[in-house]
Structure 1
Amino acid sequence: MTGPPVLRTARRRYLTVCVLFWLPIGLAFSPAVLLYTERGMSLTAVAAFFAAHSLTAAALELPTGGLSDVLGRRSVLAAAGLLDIAAFTLLALGSTFAAFAVGMGLKGVARALSSGPAEAWYVDTVQAHAGPAADLRTGLSRGSAATSAALAVGTLVGGAVPWLLGLGPDLGARLSEATGGLVLPLSVPVLIGAAVSVVFVLYVLTALREPPRKPATLSSVLRGVPGTIGAGLRLSVSELTLRRVLLSAGAAGAAFATIELLMPGRAAGVSGTAESGAVLFAALACAGFATSGLGSALAPLTARLTRSGERAVLAGLGVSAGGLLLLAVTATSSGPLSLAVAVGGFLLFYLGLGAASPNENELLHRRVADGQRATALSVQSLALQLICALSGLAVSALPVGPLPWLFGCAALLVGATLWVRRPAPVPTPVAPTPSPVDA
């Protein structure tokens, strides 16, 4: 199969992989904190679990990106899915600090393994069949939109299932009693996530076709991965557009840290209690994911209207910064109008980043060869995560009020200004290796 049908098949498979990987994460998002505390964990312990996830993912971003470029996309993605199955099962059924810490650590490893291979597979396949100048932005924007949609649906279902189990003849209590307390209502969405991850692994192994690779040995991997990482890092810091992409990812990380730290408390303040605040934040998060998906779907239109991918990134980051500015000016207000403006700012934040991300990645893929693609994506993810972690410390040290929100706004504005300068010319791409895709 050649021509457009192959590209449509590759795009459909890429979107399916995005949905199947991120849907379980959305399912586990809403009940996570409540599940841990229901099992007797303190908030300090919960913070330690999330730190285990973040630090593990950050530490392994570059090695796993290099591993994908050396071993292949399919095997690394399948490994990520297998680790997610183990992680979700531990988190759903565990009851000790060690079980939760190991589960979150495994999720961090899976997150690092998954941060580039699917997108790299899609770009490899498109360029192998349509050439280096093939349209990438449309598929990347739809992949980003599919990811956001999966997170939005997963968040809603993950929050609704435990609530539904408590209705009528208390199914949740019966479930807990029948399993000796092993399965709580809050565990059910996480177990569903584990089941979806099984489907993810099977789909990856059967649908993501790659050209044959030379069989890898331990010595070849140990030699190849460090070299691939080094080459990817050198390219990322030496090429102007890639530097802009990395710094923009860091700016987005600072903004995400601001939202994630401040928005739950703000929701609790509006609703009156922590419990109702958690429900309100879950609803807002779902709306944010959906809006991000809309922004991603509009990424090609944004590039056409602004007449370049670079200016589309500038516009997207500017809109997102405007959203944080609205949250800053309403930080000390509580009237209906202020709340409406704050919600509008929250949605603008996600809309802008959703529109910017596919355009950034399209620019990135134009400047990296097949053998460095997953590594470059891992460097981008690492920049976002590290700056997010450091910015979280800075935001938490700032006084309550507009200032922390302005910190995130300023970071995005700095990221946007990087794209004001005239873009560098696109270098001649490296000829890709053909990659067959079956229907």
Structure 2
Amino acid sequence: MSAPGGIIAGPRIDPRSARRRYVTTCALFWLPMGLTIAPLVLLFTERGMALTAVAGFFLAHSLTAAVLELPTGGLSDVIGRRAVLAAAGLLNAAAFTLQALSTTAWALALGMALMGAGRALSSGPAEAWYVDAVQASRGPDAELRTGLARGGAATSAALALGTLIGGALPWLLDLGPGDRIASATSDLVLPLSAPLLLGTVVVLCFTGYVLTALREPPRAPVTLPGVLRGVPTTVAEGLRLGGRSTLVRRVLWSTAAIGGALATTELLTPGRVATLTGAPESGTLVFGALSCAGFACSALGSHLAPPVARRAGSGQRAVLVALATAAVGLLPLGVTAAVSGPPAWALGALGYGLLYLGLGAAGPNQNELLHRAVTSSGRATALSVQSLALQLSGAVTGLLVASLGVGPLPWLLATALLLTAALLWCRAPERDVPPAPSAPVPETIRTAS
């Protein structure tokens, strides 16, 4: 018996085992990313790169991820989730190694481009694998929100832990940012390289775990011409989905609003913190701690997503409440642009916490709605479309915010985006939308827990 996407029926995975493996996969993938948050820019500058070159490196990452986002989502739907995730791990391992050891601009840019390709490959397959496994075991009406919430919590917790380790590791080694490690590789290895080298090890562990734990049903043999035909078809179907489904459009617009809010926060907060502390060095340290706290609030929000949906009465209402909470959090951040001293610190901490708490609660609820509107054969593509909406909105909003200056106006713009997205869900149905009609959900492999 075959199913859409070339999947052949097979034994099923226990839902609890699937959820555990999905959570572990999220944590192992995002922990290395967290390790790079604090040291990456400083590492580039220690290599002698100008800020314009550093901006170009990040542009290489963003453009690569944006260009490959939809094709890689389609590839996952055609050839399988596990192979694409493993490829993402190998690309990230190469990227971290290049960034840690390279001294030339072209090699550092290549490392960032490889990281962008890994990001594109990873956006969707793990979540699609989890949803496929649970629906194959329990049917299309299976409860998804709890597993998605735990995956989101694991992602945020891994980023928080990675940020702490990545910022503290050079200090724990008792090495200053400008000192070289006394070894034969002193021209290549800086103290700030250590978090990225550790990230390479974790990424290789992630790749091994994916290959051994995320078992999939066998698929019909796929030839290169078949892949070349199947991927564009799947991508086109994913793009058409937003035009046909009001629910999917709302998810995409909400995701775009979230991208704009995050871009505003990430662009303006570091400079504001440095101004409040009085020095860039102390501002970096405080911003690292603030980022860790934000990820912790996001993890808490993801954990609270299922009870929020139960109390609100539906997934749609839960998204509305969560986005409204995040929008309220942006207002105190905007006020800090006009005040200083203890009130600014108190308002900033409150706003940052509310923003990430709300965004953490919104993600699992809106993604469950998305999964109920798509079928297995296009699930990873739909997630890639969602990721693309986040990235493009963040890029456009970042350019706009940069032109508006550092006053309250950019924060008001971001608040308006989130409030508009929340209002979209006021018109949502009173109950969750049932799954779209599709071919029978394929059975997946049942492996030992």
Tell me the TM-score normalized by structure 1. Answer: 0.97
Alignment partner of 2:427: what SS? coil
Matched with 2:288 is 282
Identify the match of residue 105 of structure 2 among 97, 117, 125.
97
Question: What is the alpha-carbon distance in structure 1 between the residues aligned to residue 48 and residue 345 of structure 2?
Answer: 34
Question: What is the alpha-carbon distance in structure 2 between the residues aligned to residue 62 and residue 428 of structure 1?
Answer: 22
Alignment partner of 1:175: what SS? coil
Matched with 2:207 is 201
Query: Does the C-alpha gap of structure 1 residues 180 and 330 become closer, same or farther in structure 2, counting only changes over 3 Å?
Result: closer
Question: What is the alpha-carbon distance in structure 1 between the residues aligned to residue 182 and residue 206 of structure 2?
Answer: 28
The answer on 1:372 being equivalent to 2:378 is yes
**Superposed structure 1 runs of 4+ greater than 6 Å apart:** none
**Greater alpha carbon shift after TM alignment, 268-277 vs 67-76:** 268-277
- AA at the equivalent of 1:78: A
Query: Does the C-alpha gap of structure 1 residues 2 and 177 become closer, same or farther in structure 2, counting only changes over 3 Å?
Result: closer
- AA at the equivalent of 1:364: L
**Greater alpha carbon shift after TM alignment, 131-140 vs 274-283:** 274-283
Identify the match of residue 335 of structure 2 among 329, 333, 351.
329
Deviations 1:299-330 (A, max 9, x none): 00110110100000000100000010111122
Deviations 1:8-67 (A, max 9, x none): 110111011101100000011110011000010111111111111111101111000000
**Correspondence list, 1:142-291, <5 A:** 142-166=150-174, 173=179, 175-291=181-297
Deviations 1:378-432 (A, max 9, x none): 0000001001100001000103210011111111011111100032842444321
Q: What percentage of residue pairs aligned between the two structures are identical?
A: 62
Question: What is the alpha-carbon distance in structure 2 between the residues aligned to residue 254 and residue 223 of structure 1?
Answer: 34
The answer on 1:416 being equivalent to 2:425 is no
Alignment partner of 1:419: what SS? helix
RMSD: 1.6
- AA at the equivalent of 1:332: A
**Contact in 1 for aligned 2:38/2:288 (Cα 8 Å):** yes
Tell me the number of residue pairs that the alignment of Structure 1 and Structure 2 aligns: 436
Matched with 1:66 is 74
Question: What is the alpha-carbon distance in structure 2 between the residues aligned to residue 26 and residue 425 of structure 1?
Answer: 35
Matched with 1:134 is 142
Matched with 2:3 is none
Identify the match of residue 76 of structure 1 among 62, 84, 89.
84
**Contact in 1 for aligned 2:35/2:163 (Cα 8 Å):** yes
The answer on 1:433 being equivalent to 2:433 is no
Deviations 1:326-358 (A, max 9, x none): 111221101212320111101110000000000
Question: What is the alpha-carbon distance in structure 2 between the residues aligned to residue 147 and residue 207 of structure 1?
Answer: 18
Tell me the TM-score normalized by structure 2. Answer: 0.94
Q: How far 1:145 moved relative to its partner?
A: 0.3
Query: Does the C-alpha gap of structure 1 residues 11 and 215 become closer, same or farther in structure 2, counting only changes over 3 Å?
Result: same
Query: Does the C-alpha gap of structure 1 residues 243 and 174 become closer, same or farther in structure 2, counting only changes over 3 Å?
Result: closer
Matched with 1:350 is 356
Q: How far 1:238 moved relative to its partner?
A: 1.3
Deviations 1:111-153 (A, max 9, x none): 0000000000000000000011111000000000000000000
Matched with 1:302 is 308
- AA at the equivalent of 2:144: L
**Greater alpha carbon shift after TM alignment, 221-230 vs 267-276:** 267-276
Question: What is the alpha-carbon distance in structure 2 between the residues aligned to residue 213 and residue 438 of structure 1?
Answer: 16
- AA at the equivalent of 1:185: P
Query: Does the C-alpha gap of structure 1 residues 174 and 55 become closer, same or farther in structure 2, counting only changes over 3 Å?
Result: closer
Matched with 2:347 is 341
Question: What is the alpha-carbon distance in structure 2 between the residues aligned to residue 437 and residue 2 of structure 1?
Answer: 4
Deviations 1:263-313 (A, max 9, x none): 010111011111211111111111111110000000001101101000000
**Contact in 1 for aligned 2:170/2:177 (Cα 8 Å):** no
The answer on 1:45 being equivalent to 2:45 is no
The answer on 1:318 being equivalent to 2:327 is no
